[in-house]
Amino acid sequence: MAKRVSKKKPNAVPAGPTLPKRSERILGLAVNTLGRCIVWSLAQRTVQHGVLPGAYPVIAWLMHFQEATQTELSRLIGIEQPTMAITLRRMERDGIIERSPDPEHGRKSLVKLTAHGRRLSDVIAAAAHDVQKVASKGLTTAELDEFYRLVDLMTENLSAERHG
C-alpha cells in the first residue's frame, strides 16, 4: 500500500489569533489583533446590557469630556463622520446618548450620556478593568506603564503625520 503524504500547507492558518515571530512582526497586525481580542472580551462582559462594541469609545470619551460634538468624537476616535453619525443615531435610539443644540454654533449639536448611558459607562468601566487584568496577566506594573508610554508615543507620532 502506498504511503499517504500530508498535504498540510507549511504556513497553514492557525485556529486562534497568533502573531508572526521576530523579524516577521508587523506592528499594525499586532495592535489590531490585540484590539480585536480586547473588544471580543469586552463584548462577552457587556452584551447582556445591550452595549455594542462600536459604542465603547464614544461612551469612554463622553465619560472623560462630559459632552462633545459629533466632529470632535469622530476626530478623537479616528472614524469618518458618516460612521460616527450612524453610531450616534443607534446610541440615541437606545437611550444611551442625547443631543442638544450647541449654543456656540447653531448648526452643531452637543452629545452627552443620558442617565442610562452613565449607568452603562459603569458597566463598561468594570468590564474594561476586568479585561485589563486578564490581558496584562504576567506583566509587572512597570511593564504595563512602559506599554502605555510606548502606545502614547506611537499614537502621537502617527497623529502628527495624520493631522499635520
Q: Is the pLDDT reported for residue 64 higher than 70?
A: yes
pLDDT at 24: 66
Tell me, yes or no, whether 31 lies in a domain: yes
Reported as a pLDDT band with limits 50, 70 and 90, residue 108 is: confident
pLDDT in tens, 109-128: 899 999 999 999 999 999 99
Tell me, yes or no, whether 4 lies in a domain: no
Kindly report the three-state secondary structure assignment for every residue of the chain.
CCCCCCCCCCCCCCCCCCCCCHHHCCHHHHHHHHHHHHHHHHHHHHHHHCCCHHHHHHHHHHHHHCEEEHHHHHHHHCCCHHHHHHHHHHHHHCCCEEEEEECCEEEEEEEEECHHHHHHHHHHHHHHHHHHHHHCCCCCHHHHHHHHHHHHHHHHHHHHHHHC
Structurally, how many domains does the chain consist of?
Answer: 1
Q: What is the CATH number of the domain that holds 81?
A: 1.10.10.10
pLDDT in tens, 76-103: 998 999 999 999 999 999 999 999 998 8
Tell me, yes or no, whether 21 lies in a domain: no
Tell me, yes or no, whether 2 lies in a domain: no
Tell me, yes or no, whether 16 lies in a domain: no
Global pTM reads: 0.74
Query: What domain range is 130 assigned to?
Result: 27-153
